[in-house]
Structure 1
Amino acid sequence: MTRTQQLLADDPLWLVLLKVVALFAIGVFLTLFMIVLERKVVGRMQQRPGPNRTGPGGWLQSLADGLKLAFKEDIMPAMADKKVFFIAPVISTIPAFVAFSVIPFGGEVSIFGEPTVLQLVDLPVGVLVVLACSSIGVYGIVLGGWASGSPYPLLAALRSAAQVISYEIALGLSIVGVILYSGSLSTADIVSAQSSGWYVGLLLPSFVVFVIAMVGETNRAPFDLPEAESELVGGFHTEYSSLKFALFFLAEYVNMVTVSAMATTLFLGGGQWPWPLSFLNANGWLQFVAFLIKTFLFLFVFIWLRGTLPRMRYDQFMRLGWKVLVPASLVWILAIFAVRAFRSSGGSTASLMIGIGIALAALLVVAFLVPDRKVPTEQVELASDYPVPPLDLAVPSPSRHKLRRREVKAADDTREPALTGGVSRKENE
């Protein structure tokens, strides 16, 4: 048993309850803070002030919105499945908070004279717990869309299921390298294994895949296709209101914090300070400060992407997951195994790892920028003569315009004798 596990096993009941309340408070507070921060940062990007009325500098705007949602009328559609409609937001919210329990926020501290660690529980399979919680959360989305009794939320829920399944594979494959080098699935052991160097440099392709996959996993822009307002009204929560809608909103932002904290834990050394400030690692509370700084860095990336990139098409989004991220992760895992085999034979791995990492990162960038192969418009046969928009935004050739005009003119000449009492246009002239 490690020192961390021993301290957590000796925690009294009051300290465990205090940690549970603290984790819940952190999740709610960061949600309220992130909503205002996102609106202010995006407003600054668009050269407008953002929220500036409620509270000092507008920082209490999300609290006012939350109170307003609590007192709004709770509307339930007549065709909804009432029990499932009620429990779906709860299923989305609870796993988001459960994933917090295995994340190490800092080192060893003393709380009211009781030595402990800033972590609720250290499980031997802590990484798998986070992946399982992210998988269970999509059940709330699917059930919420299905129970609404409307086709548009159901369509958005099915999109979300396909999206989470696709990007969860890439997310899981990106963690394999971290597990191989740390030799453990425990989040505390992974942080301890990075005391000599963070994995962000050693496993750069895994880090890139993890960051892209975590954006798709949380349904955030430019991958927020389940909530594509231009196509699906409001997405899977269109029919929700009051506190049920607030729970879906809470689950989304808590999931953002969870994946950002996991990225910090897996690749940025958790609460460890970098080399010039490594002497601060002796204090567990200062490690907690470092952990928050790194987590907020990833949360800012979420906001930055939303204010910068447009929403992707669904086929582009799925192609990125299945044809780029998953194959690149598999190749990278094979490269890691090759490097470890080379290392066990007595060779030097530093230059080999850097070269392979740069090559795979370049492969990801090139594969992302290469456009899809487009089928020429002339090769597509239409099912009927009804005029349709150009396929895939391709401009029809002039010959098709001429052909269409001839068809319309022929149809007019056929209909006109009946309108003129059986006399053709030439006879009238």
Structure 2
Amino acid sequence: MANYSPYFIAPIFSLILALLLWQLYPSLYSTSYFKWGILFFLCVSGLNVYGTLLAGWSSNSKYALLGSLRAIAQTISYEVSMALVLLFPLFLVGSFSFFEVGESQESIWLSFLMLPVSFIWFVTCVAETNRAPFDFAEGESELVSGFNIEYGSAGFALIFLAEYANILVMSLFSSILFFGGSYMFFFESNIMFMLKILFFAFLFIWVRGSYPRFRYDLLMTLTWKGFLPAALSFLLLIFSLIYFVY
């Protein structure tokens, strides 16, 4: 009873979006240079909800539909705080390029200047990728398996390839935005950059093994009543400091 066209397109679409973001990998061997890389990142990550929406709706299952609706509400809510957090390095560096944001941290990492903001960013990344303790799209206890319940074999594999590709790419951007440096020009620095990415990927798995699943209302309260006011307050503080200094 599934709607076959979007049912088969949804996993492929999710994986394509996850792989598109790897175009922003900062390296001298990149095929293209994105001067507006952060805007491209926001545009592509904003499309991620459509893969989950198509998968849940086209499966024609109440469990899949409920899981996809919860995931969409969660992803859209946390995109707001993610966009606000991205404004911090933009204000400090004055560029939309991941290259320049990374290079600007040669002397000091931005995470030392904005420790609470980097924490908000990491929690938002966990929520954006639907990982535990925010994995409401696939809550086994109440939704059997969530939005992917009707998928098997290749479709199921593509969905989880997209999920883990998103984890790695969010680890990549966390390393660039808050733990950057001149990782593009020296072999040793490139190894350090890869270790930072692996450290953040390990944190995703570590959080999954350490915390139980949140209640859904607490998840929404966290972003709308916690992260959003905190990010706006820090943003106002940073903007005021920049205005008075320059």
**Is the pair's TM-score, using the shorter chain for normalization, greater than 0.5?**
yes
Does structure 2 retain, via aligned residues, the 8 Å contact 1:138–1:164? yes
- Between the aligned partners of 1:282 and 1:291, the Cα distance in structure 2 is 11
Q: Which residue of 2 aligns with 1:144?
A: 55
Greater helix share, structure number: 2
Q: Which has the higher contact order (CA 8 A, sep 6+)?
A: 2
- The equivalent position to 1:245 in structure 2, one of 144, 153, 156, is 156
- Between the aligned partners of 1:327 and 1:103, the Cα distance in structure 2 is 31
Deviation at residue 130 of structure 1 after TM alignment: 1.6
Alignment of structure 1 residues 34-73 onto 2, 5 Å: none
- The equivalent position to 1:187 in structure 2, one of 95, 98, 101, is 98
- The equivalent position to 1:99 in structure 2, one of 17, 21, 30, is 21
Does structure 2 retain, via aligned residues, the 8 Å contact 1:93–1:137? no
- Give the secondary-structure state (helix, strand or coil) at the position aligned to 1:236: helix
Deviation at residue 270 of structure 1 after TM alignment: 5.0
The one-letter code sitting in structure 2 at the alignment partner of 1:343 is V
- The equivalent position to 2:188 in structure 1, one of 272, 286, 290, is 286
Q: In 2 relative to 1, CA 270–156 (structure 1 residues): closer, same or farther, beyond 3 Å?
A: farther
> Which runs of no fewer than 5 residues in structure 2 stay unpaired?
none
> Which runs of no fewer than 5 residues in structure 1 stay unpaired?
1-78, 107-116, 273-280, 345-429
Calculate percent identity across the aligned residue pairs. 41
Q: Which residue of 1 aligns with 2:3?
A: 81
Q: Which residue of 2 aligns with 1:300?
A: 202
- Between the aligned partners of 1:147 and 1:271, the Cα distance in structure 2 is 46
* TM-score for both structures, normalised by structure 1: 0.56
Deviation at residue 282 of structure 1 after TM alignment: 5.3
Q: In 2 relative to 1, CA 271–220 (structure 1 residues): closer, same or farther, beyond 3 Å?
A: farther
Q: Which residue of 2 aligns with 1:60?
A: none
Deviation at residue 288 of structure 1 after TM alignment: 2.1
Q: Which residue of 2 aligns with 1:154?
A: 65
Q: Which residue of 2 aligns with 1:267?
A: 178
Deviation at residue 341 of structure 1 after TM alignment: 2.2
Alignment of structure 1 residues 285-364 onto 2, 5 Å: 285-344=187-246
The one-letter code sitting in structure 2 at the alignment partner of 1:286 is E
- Between the aligned partners of 2:59 and 2:143, the Cα distance in structure 1 is 14
Q: In 2 relative to 1, CA 271–295 (structure 1 residues): closer, same or farther, beyond 3 Å?
A: farther
Q: Which residue of 1 aligns with 2:45?
A: 134
* TM-score for both structures, normalised by structure 2: 0.96
Q: In 2 relative to 1, CA 271–153 (structure 1 residues): closer, same or farther, beyond 3 Å?
A: farther
Q: In 2 relative to 1, CA 204–120 (structure 1 residues): closer, same or farther, beyond 3 Å?
A: farther
Deviation at residue 120 of structure 1 after TM alignment: 3.5
**RMSD of Structure 2 on Structure 1 (CA):** 1.3
Does structure 2 retain, via aligned residues, the 8 Å contact 1:103–1:265? no
Does structure 1 retain, via aligned residues, the 8 Å contact 2:53–2:72? yes
